[in-house]
Amino acid sequence: LMPLLKSAITALLWLGADGLIAIGHTQSYGTRPAGGSRRCCAIAASGFVTPIGPFCPFRSTTCAENGPLGVAMGELTGSKMPRFAEEMSRLQLEMSMGGSPDPQKVGQMAEDLYEAEQQWQRMLARMRLADDFQSREYFKVTAAWSERQGESLESVGAMMRWQADNMKAFATGGMPRPPPPGVDLDRLAAKQAASGQANMMSQLTSAQAVTATPFSGEEAAFESEVVRAEYEKLCRDHAALVQMGESYGGYDPLGKLAFLDALEAVEERWDTFFARFSLMGALNREFVEQTDGFLGSMGMSAADFRGVLREAHDLMRRDAEVERGAAV
């Protein structure tokens, strides 16, 4: 059982980040030139990050920090998964040095993993079925990232349950279970070796939050009333679109496609606004370093992250087109 348990742990450490990639650490920066207090993560675009995609600074009621989905995400990614990742790393180190894990501790970790997987599945279902656009976008980004890793959300869940089953078997002296159909442990190990990342889950949970702001508010550009007005209008338009998206699930197919068009137009406006500041060298260097470090800690480039967002929106367009065809 020991070799199988070791393989299960290795696979979990590689797969653990996939399902949580869209709902990781909350980063914070102001949505006004100075003194802002909105919560935000950021998605990369063309070498710098802008407040777009699933980590935009404007949150729907469901995805707000104190909203139902926000609270569930915070509990899982801010508390349960970091503790579990730490225990898994310690267990992997012990086994790599020829040690034998404590069965009682492994049994408790198995129960923790069962609970985390069930909570993760509930969150995925809530995001997938929500009327709220941001919730659905979170789900599609998660699915798109998993597909890039050659996995599906279903296979990730099956792997987590299988790993928990074998950890429990080790703890109780039971018989180990074979991997789920279609799961190749050698392939997973090869992916981990090729990525050069021994512990992706630990890297995800230890990623540093972004505390710097993209603008200090003292940049010369903001002395222009035109620039300041453009910035404030962009924030208002983006926030209004997020609020409108809370009814996305009730839109007809053409309405959903029009919403995606409007959202991507706002994203392009952010790209243009940030590009101007970047060309002037006016983006906060600390902000750039922190966001680059955040993405790098999860093994992603700006192009990777932007590509995932585009694929997620393409999936949502495809859903709308399928719905449109069914209604004809």
Mean predicted confidence (pLDDT) in 191-207: 51
Cβ distance 184 to 116 under 8 Å? no
Tell me the per-residue pLDDT of 13-31, one tens digit each, with 9 for 90 and over.
334 433 333 333 333 333 4
Residue 300 · residue 55 · CB < 8 Å? no
Q: Select from 112, 120, 72 the least CA-distant residue to 88.
A: 112
pLDDT at residue 34, as a whole number: 39
Confidence of residue 194 (pLDDT cuts 50, 70, 90): low
pTM score:
0.78
Answer positive or negative: Cα dihedral of 277, 282, 284, 289. Answer: positive
Helix (H, G, I), strand (E, B) or coil at 170: helix
Residue 210: per-residue pLDDT: 63
CA-wise closest residue to 238 among 51, 68, 83, 79: 51
pLDDT of 316 strictly over 80: yes
Instruction: Find the mean pLDDT for residues 125-152.
Output: 88
Q: What is the C-alpha separation between 207 and 124, in angstroms, rounded?
A: 22
Q: What is the pLDDT of residues 143-166, one digit of tens each?
A: 888 888 777 888 888 888 888 898
**47 vs 222, residue with greater confidence:** 222
Q: What is the pLDDT of residue 208?
A: 56
> For residue range 169-181, what is the model confidence (pLDDT) as tens digits?
989 988 888 888 8
Count Cβ atoms below 10 Å from residue 175 Cβ, excluding itself.
Answer: 8
Residues 227-238: what's their mean pLDDT?
92
Tell which phi-psi region holds residue 252, choosing left (phi > 0), alpha (psi between -120 and 50) or beta.
Answer: beta
